[in-house]
Chains A and B, each alone.
Chain A
Amino acid sequence: MKSLLNKEIRLAASPLSYIFLSASLMTLLPGYPILMSAFFICFGVFHSFQNAREANDTLYTVLLPVKKADFVRAKFAFTCFIQLTGFGLCAALTAVRMTALSPAAPYVQNALMNATPYFLAFVLLIYTAFNVLFLGGFFQTAYKIGMPFLSFGIAALVLIGFAETLPHLPGLGFLRTPAGERLGIQFGLLIAAALVYAVGTLLACRRAERRFERIDL
């Protein structure tokens, strides 16, 4: 797996996957739907899949002394590596926003979502949607990336819309307080989202392995 992950990074990955990690900085933007940062990080991963497809990465890899399932796991591992790096950056910036920057007027007057554990929970849910819809869809054919990404894009926009709406409902305003309120509930949501991410990604990976195994290359 180490060799395959190394292969992903050195040969298959698009530089855009790393460049799009800078979308994490959107976490600091007031008056902007900051969950778009999670969408853009996934968009960066999408470019690696596009790049790999054009480079005949699948054929090269399955000829190596690996099983077809190893190829699938390596793609998931690379995706999680990028996503979790992005999550780490978002989490660090969220901490800054919730502490040192929380009294800043643009955040206090922010009509949209502020960076809180609730925001981070939805980052993980968007990642889960990518892993289930895009990666799962990709491994049905191992070359079609358009429809799986469109499915993910729609799901991501629905999730972002839902996440932005929820704090405006009566009694849920605490979800968008700049310094964070009722953190017990918010961290509970974050832990639940982390579980959804872990289980969803694992199940998506298992299903992708089965799908890819059935494909004649």
Chain B
Amino acid sequence: MAILEVQGLQKRYPSFLLDDVSFSLERGRIMGLIGRNGAGKTTTLKSIFNLVHPDAGAIRMFGLSMPEDERAIKQRIGFAGGAVEYYRRKKLREIAGVTRTFYDSWDDEAYRKYTSAFSLDETKTPLQLSEGMRVKFSLTLALSHHAELLILDEPTSGLDPVSRAELLETFLFLKEGGVSILFSTHITTDLEKCADDIAYLAGGKLVAAKPLAEFLKENEQAGHGCSLEEIMVHYEKESLYEKLAE
């Protein structure tokens, strides 16, 4: 059963149109939402979370509809927009202490396990943490209420190679535990290391939403390149060429 279903999502801005985006994510799989800057990745993720209002389309998670079942859905998902950017002068302990009161399934033991595994010092504030540690704190909050679906907006951007590798390792560990992850990125090598599926957005349109291996094989056979980076460059350069030729 699909844990996340996005059907015909459309959002119109004065200078941008996210048009007819549809994809689904199964339990225990990692999906990378890729596309260059401004392709519509963040708009898609924000629409899933009801932070922006789609003009058309339907979003279902765990068989429930967003926004009708917003509270029930949010109990079961975690969102991290990269590093923690809120309450930068409050101690991690205070932020976690408040956050825990919102979740029925908050697990203090899990919280302690992740803070210890990620070497998070609860007496520090987000301001005192590196970018990588802030991402880890963000993940800790999501995982401590046993989120079944993690939605992450460019979590690896701005991280050093070691932190990125650690984060990807964490994703793989969570996947083994049945957690589904949807994360946006334009760092294609991250996806090749851990993603099962991809949804590729270009200029607000969905180019593909399928298993990564299948996507790579099809494009290799079509001569678009052997890696995600080569394939992305192939698609984006084509559209740039058309623009210049107009």
A residues within 8 Å of B by Cβ? 3, 6-7, 10-11, 55-57, 59-60, 62-68, 214, 216-217
The answer to whether B86 touches A64 (Cβ under 8 A) is: no
Specify which chain A residues have a CB less than 8 angstroms from the CB of B87 in the assembled complex.
Answer: 11, 55-57, 60
Flag if B79 contacts A63 (CB, 8 Å): yes
Say which residue of A11, A65, A67, A216 sits within 8 Å of B51 (CB atoms): A216
Q: Which of B29-37, B95-103, B191-199, B227-235 contacts A (4 or more CB under 8 A)?
A: B95-103
Contact B98 A65 (CB under 8 A): no
Q: Taking CB as reference atom, which chain B residue is nearest A64?
A: B102
Binary CB contact string for chain B from 81 to 98 against chain A (1 if under 8 A, 0 otherwise): 100011111100011011
Q: Of the listed stretches B69-77, B110-118, B209-217, name the one at the interface; the rest are far from the partner chain.
A: B69-77
* A67 / chain B contacts, CB cutoff of 8 Å: 67, 70-71
Q: A6-B101, A11-B94, A56-B85 known; A63 and B70 CB under 8 Å?
A: no
Q: Count how many chain B residues have C-beta atoms less than 8 Å from C-beta atoms of the other chain.
A: 29
Please report the C-alpha to C-alpha distance between residue A215 and residue B98 in the assembled complex, in whole angstroms: 25
Residue contact A56 to B99, C-beta cutoff 8 Å: no
State the CA gap A182–B50 with chains docked (Å).
Answer: 55
Given contacts A11-B90, A60-B87, contact A216 B74 (CB under 8 A): no
Q: A7-B101, A11-B98, A216-B51 are in contact. List 12 more A-B contacts (CB 8 A).
A: A3-B101, A55-B87, A56-B85, A56-B86, A59-B81, A59-B86, A63-B79, A64-B102, A65-B70, A65-B103, A68-B50, A217-B52
Task: Identify which of B67, B71, B86 gathers the most chain A CB atoms within 10 Å of its CB.
Answer: B86
Q: How far is B87's CA from A66's CA once the two chains are assembled, in angstroms?
A: 19
* B46 interfacial by beta-carbon distance below 8 Å: yes
> Does B49 sit within 8 A of A, measured CB to CB?
yes
Q: Are B86 and A57 in contact (CB under 8 A)?
A: yes
Contact partner, B53, options A57, A59, A216, Cβ 8 Å: A216
> Which residue of A is nearest B75, CB measured?
A65
Chain B proximity of A15: nearest CB distance (Å): 12
